[in-house]
Amino acid sequence: MHELSLTQMIVEACAERAGDGRVRRVTVEIGALAAVMHESLAFCFDACSRGTPLEGARLEIVEIAGRGQCRRCGAELGMQDYLSRCACGSIDIECVAGDGLRVKAMEMA
């Protein structure tokens, strides 16, 4: 379960920036193509944040839709998975959005 290691990195990065302050909410953006289970990340967040400035904080997850650009015709298209096909028939699609994870915001108490 890579969600545990992802959550540990999120908590460590936010705790470092929080210093002596308390964190009330952390907002993360997760791409639809990132292969991250939201429920697992939320469960791990509660466990990983114990004893840190993030303990009791709310984790807000915003899903970013997958988008790609066809290398053959240049069209941009929505991607549900990495096997998406362009209207021109090509499967040579470059993912341009929706495959990452980032901390978008951290709200302090």
Radius of gyration of the chain from its Cα atoms, rounded to whole angstroms? 17
* 1 pLDDT higher than 80: no
d(CA 105, CA 74) in angstroms, rounded, equals 33
pLDDT in tens, 21-80: 999 999 999 999 999 999 999 999 999 999 999 999 999 999 999 999 999 999 999 999
pLDDT class for 108, splitting at 50, 70, 90? very high
With contact defined as beta carbons under 8 Å apart, do 61 and 101 qualify?
no
d(CA 77, CA 66) in angstroms, rounded, equals 9
Domains in the chain: ranges and CATH: 2-65+98-108 (3.30.2320.50)
With contact defined as beta carbons under 8 Å apart, do 64 and 95 qualify?
no
* DSSP string across 30-50: EETTS---HHHHHHHHHHHTT
d(CA 30, CA 100) in angstroms, rounded, equals 6
Which pTM was predicted? 0.87
Strands 93-97 and 76-79, how do they pair? unpaired
In this prediction, residue 87 carries a pLDDT of 97
